[in-house]
Structure 1
Amino acid sequence: MKKTLLTSLLGLIGLTAFAQIKNTSFDEKKENAKWPESWAIKEIPGSTVQIDDNIKFSGSSSLKISTNEGVEPSKFASFSQTIPLNLDKTSRATISVYLKTENLMGSAAIWCQVWDDKNKSVGFVNLGSQNEPVKGTNDWKKYSMTLILDRTAKRLVLGGYSMGAGSTWFDDIAFESAQANSKPASKEVKNYIAVVNAIIKDNSIYTDSLNWGAINADIEELGKGLETTADAQMLTNFMLQKLRAAGDNHSFFQPKVAAQQYASGNTSQQKPTFKLLDNHIGYIMVPSYGSTDTETGKAFANEIQGFIKKLDTENTIKGWIVDLRPNTGGNMHPMIAGLGPIIGRGTLGYFVKGKSKTPWYYTKEGEGAGKGITVKIDQPYELKNPNSKVAVLIGPRTSSSGEMTTVSFIGKKNAKLFGEQSGGYTTANTGYPLPDGSFLYLASSYVADRNMKKYIGKITPDVVVKPVAGEDTVLKTAETWVLDSNP
């Protein structure tokens, strides 16, 4: 049966809510008959999003996303819809979807973003972060994710995506009410959320902005009926919403499986690249790097240093371009260690919390922070001309550790930033293990450059370059500056 009305959230705490998801089964078509009515569609080159009248779970159709082989694994096609809310109580709810996949190399999921009465994004849940990744070939199956809607929530942006080569079908998206339950949370759940909140209280740079009395009262009510740490994920998501409302856009929870993968190998798909540009300019692109494994990080850094050495020893390099535009973050230390020959030795930046400041730096051994070397380089390379100009390219995707790497260049002689403002995730996250094997990555300090200038929010480049369709104006502008005899 096609569902077009969001179930009223009555029962948990007497909540009155009204919202409407339109065309939940994708049966209603737009005039061109390719896309469903009421949903915004985003295709990418090599992908197709369309209504499928032949394969469906129920009703007359489903939404199919197909992506060809050869498309960058991190790229995805998606769909979304904005849903207004009118709430009088904080409560919990479940969003579900039926998914079918065929030879999906990446993953598929639905997601939901929560916006408050100040037009600020305060919550985000992703099916992939609450369940095993949906990939490969699977018949129709119902998947669900939980979320908490604060009384200040005014709208949701609900959507889905398919990442990587293969096909995914979506059908019967539903917003289901939480059931009433007066049973207190189990001891396991209480202990779990107590650990989470103790970490936040002791280490978050936003802890003084949180109303802990109101938070504890909400958690006691919202936790009723929860029995396992898996159930408690909705409470950790609630805490993230509170941190978001306080100004923290960087902290996040990493599920157990993701934490295990992050600790054992690089979870980022894109690899660093290098090339010699015209006029003997050395180009290095450093993407995100996702791992805390020592040997994997060392190999990543050594590979980048190998690229730099090859370019520098086989050519007369007039200057360098470091491209951080695709760098969405992860672990900053292998990135900086790899770029060490270009960045140069010495203190590169600081982690700042209150009156405390901890430097990060590059030495003849590798990259370090505080009192120890974090990434040791096997055979550190030194540039033939350490005073060469360096152009660093950044943009909206340059985030988190990508921004820390950017900060490492700020204040260096003969270095300039080119492009657009960065993503704005310039707080430093520290990982804290949780009882179930997951991790809380918490914004625990701000960052400052080598001259102690603090960065809160987006980094603005020295030379702002607006993108032009069909050409890389940022790269061209940087090349011109590198070749200019003036600083």
Structure 2
Amino acid sequence: MTSRLRVVIGVALLGALSLPGCTAADDDVAAYVDRAVAEMRDGIHADTAEFQDAVTAAEGELKARETISDAHAGLGELAVAAGGIHSFFLTPAEAIAARSVDQPGATFPVPSVSTFEGISTVSLPSFNGQSAEAEERYRSAGLTAMKRAADATTCGWIVDLRTNGGGNAWPMLAVAAPLLDDGDVVGLRSREGELAWARVEGGGVVSTPGDAGTETPGGFTIDAPVALLTSTTTASAAEIVAIAFAGQADTVRVGARTAGLTTGNEVRELSDGARLVLTTSYDVDRTGTVYDGPLEPDVVAPPGSVPSDLERARDELRARCT
């Protein structure tokens, strides 16, 4: 038995995996492997000969393992074959540890805003929560800080994604939404070509490819130039945020190319509590461009450059607000 949840996560960020579901290891090894492989067949590369060859080569050996836990590492390798480098496998112990961010009173970084000479920088950290309480804390911190800075922000906004390795994309997008034009801003396209969109209206996220509860009310909008700061650490959900600005006027990406995990994942919980994190879709921007690799900056400013990447972003905004 499995349970499913559509999420967008970064490979180093496991807290997005808080799911209800089966916890009893009631399968024998062969049945467990069969069910895990069946789930993998939704991966973006699972229709390839390479994946089938990988299953053929590994399946017999995995089914012959003495215990289910002995098969976990091999199933992790098959997950990558099915979904690519954005896919991975969590053991039951890793899955339990990943839930900590959703525990009452848990601490985690939230968005913050600083203003310098009329330019405000919104720092969007990684976010791994799935509980309504954790998501609201993240969103509220960011939107409250932006509202407080709005009057003093006379020359544009920087969205700093340099240290954001991913997590739950939709609270991040909710913080960025006041800066986004209305419309379908970023989507996920399945292997078969089916599209699911995140839509912004009036500064709120009115729909996403995620579960119910990912919508936000809006009512606060900002019309100003935007610079997106990226690095090689910017990954997955953070790339979703960057892609949401693609094709929007008065927007520029500054920094270094991103990690290239521009795909969407689904989490499949297995009968022993292990979790298969499987890439099942590609990111799509408002113009219809489909992504499967790094985002290149418009202005290259790697870490350590002179002037700094942050100062280059400010220069780009100053040029647009004069």
Please give the TM-score of this superposition, normalised by the length of structure 1: 0.55
> Which residue in the other structure is 1:212 paired with?
52
> Which residue in the other structure is 1:291 paired with?
129
Residues in 1 aligned to 2:107 and 2:80: alpha-carbon distance in whole angstroms: 26
Residues in 2 aligned to 1:370 and 1:269: alpha-carbon distance in whole angstroms: 24
The residue type equivalent to 2:194 in the other structure is S
Offset from partner CA, 1:156-210 (integer Å, 9 cap, x none): xxxxxxxxxxxxxxxxxxxxxxxxxxxxxx9611111111110111x11101223
SS in 2 for 1:219: helix
Deviation at 1:322, TM superposition (A): 0.6
| Pairing of 1:345-364 with structure 2 (within 5 A) | 345-353=182-190, 354-364=192-202
- 1:337 pairs with one of 174, 183, 189: 174
1:188 aligns to 2:23 (yes or no): no
Q: Which runs of 5+ in 1 are unaligned?
A: 1-125, 130-185
> Which residue in the other structure is 2:274 paired with?
438
Task: Report the CA distance shift for 1:341/1:214 in structure 2 as closer, same or farther (over 3 A).
Answer: closer
Deviation at 1:451, TM superposition (A): 0.7
| Pairing of 1:14-413 with structure 2 (within 5 A) | 188-201=28-41, 203-209=42-48, 210-212=50-52, 215-227=55-67, 229-240=68-79, 242-243=81-82, 248-263=84-99, 265=101, 269-277=108-116, 279-313=117-151, 315-353=152-190, 354-364=192-202, 365-370=204-209, 374-377=213-216, 380-383=218-221, 386-413=222-249
Deviation at 1:486, TM superposition (A): 6.8
CA contact (8 A) 1:421 1:459 kept: yes
Deviation at 1:292, TM superposition (A): 1.6
Deviation at 1:257, TM superposition (A): 4.0
Structure with greater contact order relative to length (CA < 8 Å, sep ≥ 6): 2
CA contact (8 A) 1:387 1:413 kept: no
Residues in 1 aligned to 2:127 and 2:27: alpha-carbon distance in whole angstroms: 38
Residues in 1 aligned to 2:163 and 2:127: alpha-carbon distance in whole angstroms: 11
The residue type equivalent to 1:479 in the other structure is R
Residues in 2 aligned to 1:371 and 1:273: alpha-carbon distance in whole angstroms: 24
Task: Report the CA distance shift for 1:348/1:268 in structure 2 as closer, same or farther (over 3 A).
Answer: farther
1:467 aligns to 2:319 (yes or no): no
Residues in 1 aligned to 2:181 and 2:147: alpha-carbon distance in whole angstroms: 14
Q: Which runs of 5+ in 2 are unaligned?
A: 1-11, 15-25
CA contact (8 A) 2:185 2:286 kept: yes
Task: Report the CA distance shift for 1:220/1:187 in structure 2 as closer, same or farther (over 3 A).
Answer: farther
SS in 2 for 1:441: strand
Please give the TM-score of this superposition, normalised by the length of structure 2: 0.82
Deviation at 1:295, TM superposition (A): 2.1
Task: Report the CA distance shift for 1:371/1:285 in structure 2 as closer, same or farther (over 3 A).
Answer: closer
Q: How many residues align?
A: 293
Offset from partner CA, 1:91-116 (integer Å, 9 cap, x none): xxxxxxxxxxxxxxxxxxxxxxxxxx
Deviation at 1:243, TM superposition (A): 4.0
SS in 1 for 2:252: strand
Offset from partner CA, 1:436-478 (integer Å, 9 cap, x none): 1122111101111011111111000111123326x66111111
Residues in 2 aligned to 1:187 and 1:475: alpha-carbon distance in whole angstroms: 53
> Which residue in the other structure is 2:313 paired with?
478
Task: Report the CA distance shift for 1:237/1:373 in structure 2 as closer, same or farther (over 3 A).
Answer: closer
Residues in 2 aligned to 1:331 and 1:188: alpha-carbon distance in whole angstroms: 33
Instruction: Choose between structure 1 and 2: higher strand proportion.
Output: 1
The residue type equivalent to 2:308 in the other structure is T
Task: Report the CA distance shift for 1:193/1:304 in structure 2 as closer, same or farther (over 3 A).
Answer: same
Offset from partner CA, 1:229-264 (integer Å, 9 cap, x none): 2222122123135347xxx11001233344345456
Task: Report the CA distance shift for 1:334/1:262 in structure 2 as closer, same or farther (over 3 A).
Answer: farther
CA contact (8 A) 2:110 2:141 kept: no
Instruction: Choose between structure 1 and 2: higher helix proportion.
Output: 2
Larger radius of gyration: 1
SS in 2 for 1:289: coil
Residues in 2 aligned to 1:190 and 1:346: alpha-carbon distance in whole angstroms: 47
CA contact (8 A) 1:367 1:374 kept: no
Deviation at 1:212, TM superposition (A): 2.5
Runs of 4+ in 1 over 6 A off after TM superposition: none
Task: Report the CA distance shift for 1:454/1:388 in structure 2 as closer, same or farther (over 3 A).
Answer: same
Residues in 2 aligned to 1:189 and 1:296: alpha-carbon distance in whole angstroms: 36
Residues in 2 aligned to 1:371 and 1:286: alpha-carbon distance in whole angstroms: 19
Deviation at 1:372, TM superposition (A): 6.9
Residues in 1 aligned to 2:37 and 2:107: alpha-carbon distance in whole angstroms: 30
Please provide the CA RMSD for this pair.
2.7
Task: Report the CA distance shift for 1:187/1:391 in structure 2 as closer, same or farther (over 3 A).
Answer: closer
Task: Report the CA distance shift for 1:403/1:268 in structure 2 as closer, same or farther (over 3 A).
Answer: farther
Among the aligned pairs, what percent are the same residue? 24
